[in-house]
């Protein structure tokens, strides 16, 4: 039995009106990779905030023993000093500073006269980057690197502080498969050097692959900690622990219904990069969806998935856009978002916090934001009707909030996503584009979202699902388009599709016959 590097006993943390954690125990052995799973709102992030001193000692009940000592962290500085580093879901790098500046931010390499010794800083930054398998110039601004590499820089930053315990909050949520693989590899390597890791993740495959033990949280309580080497430590068991019920299928049964006529068609759609002239982001893409059909768009990060959707939706991205959009067989103009909404097109954005929601506004007004005109009589918004609409959606979409007057920013990710979906369903759209509808939300909410997608299709809505998770597309779609380097490379009925065949199409590189530069794959596709 190895020693425990971290023991959290009976942690209880209450906020006005809610108990986020009640009597949570977490024991982490020295040198292990320990996964923490749970639905959104289960208390994972709160627990990590308690551990890292974001909620200072005294604002919670319970004991933390770290490295054999009672830990009383009053701030993040304290926990960092003790050797705990936390890497957040949202990266905390300064985009316009260089790699080296970011790595040593707050921990600058001081030379003579109390000035920063840049030579030393850059040299050490290069060495740290090598440890995480990154070969970049330390003077490159961070904004020029992809998300995958930025994540590695965060880890390098943690290493620069002699970290003993590394906490990663959803590290692979924004990464593509090869970057994720690389990150997991790196964690194993750090483990060999004696660094303990706690990984919060929703990706059960990953956890099965990498974690030695897994602690399951539900509703602010520890359910159990299981050894992943045991035979019965299956994904199903984890899911059961997380949701408190059996989830026989990860994807709901499709509702039987007829697929109708063609609803929506895009022809020869080409989009140029908004700031880099000559760079083509979407290249001559054509696709269609029928009423009641769920069509997937599969592509790796940087393939142009979001760019394709956003450029169609009111030309919200890119320039020099050419091509035609047909709705119910008629050519329509999609110059502005309002025009698209009027045509019955909805686009549920990828990043709900930045693009989808007004986080400081209440749930009610977020739900009515896009379909507000439906609530207007003689120029006045009917506020009672608005409230009723919001409460109807809260019930039908199972949005967990005590009242629809709750500030949206206070909801968990899964519930926020349901708010965004409600907003667009209220516009009565019959073409719905869902961009990564289940990113960063828990298994239970995912299932609910898939159920909603099924219902929409059964009602005759044409649904387009953009996703980087192939099992998800195979689970919910009728047909899948593959997108690679801005071009549509395949149109595969789901019955004939396998993850392998799709991946082959998604990595199909364009022939270099034309004089145009091939579209760059963008973030994180290099040999990092």
Partner 1 sequence: MTAQASTGGAPSKLRGPLATLRELFLRNLRQSGIFIAFVAIVALFAILTDGTLLSPGNITNIVLQFSYILVLAIGMVIVIIGGHIDLSVGSLAALAGAVSAVLVIKHGMPWWVGVLAAIAVGVLAGAWQGFWVAYVGIPAFITTLAGMLLFRGLTYSVLENISLSPFPKPYQNIGNGFVNGLLGGNGYDLFTLVIFGVAVLGYWFAQFRARRAAISYKQTVAPFGLFVVKLVVVGAVVMWFAWQLAHARGLPIVLIILGVLIIGYTLITTRTVFGRHVYAIGGNLTAATLSGVKVKWVNFRIMLNMGFLTGVAGVLFSARTNGAQPGAGNLFELDAIAASFIGGAAVTGGVGRVVGAMVGGLIMATLSNGMQLMGIGLPMQQVVKGVVLLLAVAFDVYNKRRAGAVR
Residue of 336, 471, 493, 499 that binds partner 1 (CB under 8 A): 336
Half-sphere exposure (Cβ direction) of 25: Cα atoms closer than 13 Å: 6
The tokens 């769920």 sit on which residue?
A: 294
Among 23, 131, 270, 410, binds partner 1 (CB under 8 A): 410
CB of 154 to partner 1, least distance (A): 22
* Contact region with partner 1 (CB under 8 A), list: 109-117, 182-190, 362-370, 519-527: 362-370
Name the residue nearer to partner 1 (CB basis): 56 or 510: 56
316 near partner 1, rule: CB under 8 A: yes
| Binds partner 1 (CB under 8 A): choice among 178, 233, 286, 407 | 407
Binding mask 242-281 vs partner 1 (x if CB under 8 A, - otherwise)? -xxx------xx----------------------------
Q: Closer CB to partner 1, residue 103 or residue 397?
A: 397
Q: Which phi and psi (to 5°) does residue 170 adopt?
A: 50, 55
Can residue 507 be called a binding residue for partner 1 (CB under 8 A)? Answer: no
Among 113, 256, 379, 496, binds partner 1 (CB under 8 A): 379
Give least dist CB 355 to partner 1, A.
5
CA 192 to chain centre: 29
Under the criterion CB under 8 A, does residue 17 sit at the interface with partner 1?
A: yes
Q: 118 with 126: CB under 8 angstroms?
A: no
Beta strands in 291-403 (DSSP E): 294-299, 319-327, 330-332, 345-348, 376-377, 380-381
Can you tell me which of 376, 493, 509, 514 binds partner 1, judged by CB under 8 A?
376
CB 394 within 8 A of CB 426: no
The string of DSSP letters for 418-453 reads HHHHHHHHTTT-SEEEEESTTTT--HHHHHHHHHHH
Closest CA to 85 of 26, 150, 165, 6: 165
How many other C-beta atoms lie within 10 A of the C-beta of residue 68?
Answer: 9
Q: At what angle do helices 177-192 and 147-159 cross, to 10 degrees?
A: 10
Residues binding partner 1: number (CB under 8 A)? 61
Interaction between residue 325 and partner 1 (CB under 8 A): no
Q: Is residue 347 near partner 1 by the rule CB under 8 A?
A: yes
Closer residue to partner 1, CB minimum distance, 365 or 487: 365
88 binds partner 1 (CB under 8 A): no
Q: Does 405 bind partner 1 (CB under 8 A)?
A: yes
Shortest spacing between CB 12 and partner 1, in angstroms:
16
Contact present, 519 and 273 (Cβ < 8 Å) = no
User: Considering only residues 1, 112, 380, 511, which one is a binding residue for partner 1 as defined by CB under 8 A?
Assistant: 380
The dihedral built from the CA positions of residue 525, 37, 433 and 262, taken in this order, carries a sign that is positive
DSSP letters, 48-111, are HHHHHTSS-TTSSEEEEEETTEE---SSHHHHHHHTEEEE-SS----TTSBHHHHHTTTS--B-
Asked if 358 interacts with partner 1 (CB under 8 A), we say: yes
Which residue of 214, 349, 422, 482 would you call a contact of partner 1, by CB under 8 A? 349
Task: Pick the closer one to partner 1 by CB: 127 or 338.
Answer: 338
- CA dist., res. 297 & res. 354, Å (int): 22
Task: Select the residue interacting with partner 1 from 338, 498, 516, 517 (CB under 8 A).
Answer: 338
CB 44 → partner 1: shortest distance, Å? 12
Among 25, 108, 117, 219, binds partner 1 (CB under 8 A): 219
Give φ, ψ of 474 to 5 degrees.
-65, -25
Handedness of CA 59, 64, 69, 71 (dihedral sign): negative
The pairing of strands 33-37 and 213-218 is parallel
d(CA 233, CA 241): 11
444 contributes a contact to partner 1 by CB under 8 A = yes
Q: Contacting partner 1 (CB under 8 A), which of 387, 494, 503, 508? A: 387
By CB under 8 A, tell whether 451 contacts partner 1.
yes
Whichever of 60 and 485 has its CB closer to partner 1, that residue is 60
65 forms part of the interface with partner 1 (CB under 8 A): no
Of the two residues 92 and 376, which places its CB atom closer to partner 1 in the complex?
376
Query: Using CA atoms, how far apart are residues 188 and 191, in angstroms rounded to an integer?
Result: 5
Question: Contact residues for partner 1 (CB under 8 A)?
Answer: 15-18, 20, 39, 45-46, 218-219, 243-245, 252-253, 313-314, 316, 336-338, 340-341, 347, 349, 354-361, 365, 369-370, 372-373, 376, 379-381, 383-385, 387-388, 398, 400, 402-403, 405, 407, 409-410, 423, 444, 447-448, 451, 455
């Amino acid at each position: 039995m190895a020693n425990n590097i971290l023991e959290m006993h009976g942690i209880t943390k209450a906020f006005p009106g809610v108990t986020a954690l009640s009597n949570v125990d977490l024991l982490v052995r020295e040198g292990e990779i320990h996964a923490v799973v749970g639905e959104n709102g289960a208390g994972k992030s709160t627990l990590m905030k308690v551990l890292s001193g974001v909620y200072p000692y005294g604002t919670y009940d319970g004991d933390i023993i770290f490295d054999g000592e009672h830990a009383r962290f009053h701030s993040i500085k304290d926990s960092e000093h003790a050797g705990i580093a936390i890497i957040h879901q949202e990266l905390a790098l300064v985009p316009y500073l260089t790699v080296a500046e970011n790595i040593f931010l707050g921990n600058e390499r001081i030379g003579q006269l109390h000035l920063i010794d840049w030579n030393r800083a850059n040299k050490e930054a290069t060495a740290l980057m090598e440890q995480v398998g990154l070969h970049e110039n330390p003077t490159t601004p961070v904004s020029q690197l992809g998300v995958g590499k930025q994540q590695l820089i965060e880890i390098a930053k943690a290493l620069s502080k002699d970290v003993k315990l590394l906490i990663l909050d959803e590290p692979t949520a924004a990464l593509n498969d090869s970057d994720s693989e690389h990150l997991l590899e790196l964690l194993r390597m750090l483990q060999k050097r004696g660094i303990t890791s706690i990984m919060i993740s929703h990706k059960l495959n990953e956890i099965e692959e990498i974690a030695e033990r897994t602690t399951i949280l539900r509703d602010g309580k520890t359910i159990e900690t299981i050894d992943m080497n045991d035979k019965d430590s299956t994904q199903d068991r984890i899911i059961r622990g997380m949701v408190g019920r059996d989830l026989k299928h990860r994807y709901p049964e499709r509702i039987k219904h007829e697929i109708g006529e063609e609803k929506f068609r895009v022809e020869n759609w080409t989009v140029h990069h908004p700031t880099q002239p000559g760079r083509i982001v979407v290249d001559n893409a054509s696709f269609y969806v029928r009423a009641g059909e769920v069509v997937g768009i599969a592509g790796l990060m940087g393939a142009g998935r979001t760019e394709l959707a956003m450029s169609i939706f009111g030309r919200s991205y890119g320039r020099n856009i050419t091509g035609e959009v047909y709705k119910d067989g008629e050519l329509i103009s999609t110059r502005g978002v309002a025009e698209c909404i009027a045509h019955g097109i909805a686009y549920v954005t990828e990043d709900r916090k930045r693009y989808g929601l007004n986080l400081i506004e209440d749930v009610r007004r977020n739900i009515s934001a896009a379909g507000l005109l439906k609530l207007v009589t003689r120029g006045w918004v009917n506020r009672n009707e608005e409230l009723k609409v919001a409460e109807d959606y809260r019930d039908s979409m199972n949005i967990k909030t005590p009242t629809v007057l709750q500030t949206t920013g206070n909801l968990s990710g899964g519930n926020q996503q349901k708010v965004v979906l409600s907003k667009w369903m209220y516009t009565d759209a019959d073409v719905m584009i869902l961009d990564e509808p289940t990113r960063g939300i828990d298994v239970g909410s995912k299932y609910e979202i898939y159920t909603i997608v099924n219902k929409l299709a059964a009602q005759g809505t044409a649904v387009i699902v953009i996703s980087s998770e192939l099992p998800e597309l195979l689970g919910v779609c009728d047909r899948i388009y593959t997108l690679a380097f801005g071009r549509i490379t395949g149109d595969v009925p789901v019955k004939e599709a396998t993850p392998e065949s799709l991946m082959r199409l998604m990595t199909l590189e364009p022939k270099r016959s034309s004089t145009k530069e091939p579209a760059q794959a963008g973030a994180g596709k290099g040999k990092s």
